[in-house]
Amino acid sequence: MSLADVERKVMASAEKEARELLAKAEAEARAEFERRSAALRDEQRRRSAIAQAEAEASAERQVNARKAEYSLRLLEGKNEIFSDLFRAVADRALGGQGFDYGRWLAAQVRQACAEAPSGTFHCTERDRPAVEALVREARANGIRVASQPGLMRGGVYLVGDGTDLDLTLDAALEDLRDELAVSLAERLFGDVPSLGEAAEHSGA
């Protein structure tokens, strides 16, 4: 399973949950609009046609502002849910048999060797033999390999003169998570006016 497969699994799970939350936000906004519309109907009986249209437009602007504010709060909370969801799905996907970690690791090492002629590769003790073999294969004589104690799960981290290249598995997953969070926000909330825009229109 590639990182692209992980992306598709995460997006499918996160989008389903987020759409349910968005539907709830839209229902609340619509209920608020209906309540305001009912109040306006009473007021409209005592006002002219121009005043009626003006009041209705004002109510709509206020509903849009409320919807934008609620959606913003929803998205902020969703980001935390999405992070947890992404971590769980990614861990399950990477722990399966489909993800070719060896091929992915080789690609990271070759990329780093091509970008930096010298430095130190930090990697897990488990990956050290494979990384050393890949460095020899690339004839990168200026690069040495050192085990990195700690929480690194995989990949390599290259440190050298003017070089600080993070090609670890965690960094790759973090980049993917950020990209998916932005994509999810655009797909689910792209048609919702921003809070600033809604506030500007409500004050017009």
Distances from the Cα of 203 to the Cαs of 109, 147, 186, in angstroms?
Answer: 56, 60, 26
Residue recorded with tokens 């769980």: 88
The length of the chain is: 204
Q: Is the pLDDT of residue 195 over 50?
A: no
89-145 pLDDT, tens digit each = 565 555 554 567 788 889 888 988 888 878 888 888 888 999 999 999 988 888 889
Asked if residues 160 and 116 have their Cβ atoms less than 8 Å apart, the reply is: yes
- Tokens representing 167 are 């090609």
Of the listed ranges 37-51, 146-160, 183-197, the one predicted with least confidence: 183-197
CA distance 35 to 25: 16
Question: pTM higher than 0.85, yes or no?
Answer: no
Q: CA-CA distance, 23 to 25, in Å (whole number)?
A: 5
At 65-96, the pLDDT tens digits run: 766 666 666 666 666 666 665 565 565 555 55
> Quick one: pLDDT at residue 190?
60
The model's pLDDT over 42-54, given as tens digits with 9 standing for 90+, comes to 666 666 666 666 7
In the numeric block, the tokens 């692209």 are attached to 4
The CA distance from 86 to 183, in Å, is 14
pLDDT of residue 82: 60
What pLDDT was estimated at residue 132?
92
pLDDT digits (tens, 9 = 90+) for 22-39: 777 778 777 776 777 676
Per DSSP, what are the bridge partners of residue 158? 121, 165
Contact status, residue 76 vs residue 99, Cβ threshold 8 Å: no
